[in-house]
Amino acid sequence: MTRLYWTTTALITAECAGGGLADLLRTPPFYPVMIDLGYPPYLATIMGTAKLIAAVIIVVPALPRLKEWAYAGITINLVGAIASHVAMHQSPSNTVAPAAFLALTLISWATRPPTRRLPNRARLEQVGAP
């Protein structure tokens, strides 16, 4: 499980960091696609910043609650990308990359080690923790 976690995590972190940087610099491949889908140019700055923050949070130790938010943000971004391509009646092939990264994101989230998860509330209650 550890190898699967780190492999998927490395891939989504690279995608977030690379995509975030491309968004901030407004370079291909993401920026032209975003504009083609009808989004305003300033969204690239917002999304680029969010992607870079998510990439950092996913790889640093600890911060389990922020990791949950980062994974949620990445998931929403990728589902939004898929939905945007579908809504614009683009070729189904345009959904392959975001769908693949969505799968990697979900695998990374599901296989993360206990030190990168929120504490199990039921377990805490059994030992008498508040």
Instruction: Tell me what the pLDDT averaged over the chain comes to.
Output: 92
Would you state the pLDDT for residue 128? 58
pLDDT-based confidence at 109, cuts 50/70/90? very high
**pLDDT mean over 91-104:** 97
pLDDT tens for 38-64 read 999 999 999 999 999 999 999 999 899
Q: Roughly how many angstroms between the first and final C-alpha of the chain, as a whole number?
A: 31
Domain boundaries, the chain: 2-126
SS (H, E, C) the chain: CHHHHHHHHHHHHHHHHHHHHHHHHCCCCHHHHHHHCCCCCCHHHHHHHHHHHHHHHHHCCCCHHHHHHHHHHHHHHHHHHHHHHHHCCCCHHHHHHHHHHHHHHHHHHHHCCHHHCCCCHHHHHHCCCC
User: Tokens at residue 67, please?
Assistant: 């990791």
Tokens 């609650």 belong to: 65
Cβ atoms 37, 6 nearer than 8 A: no
- 124 vs 30, more confident: 30
- Asked whether the beta carbons of 33 and 72 are under 8 A apart, the reply is no
Mean pLDDT of 13-31: 95
What is the pLDDT, as a whole number, of residue 1?
A: 79
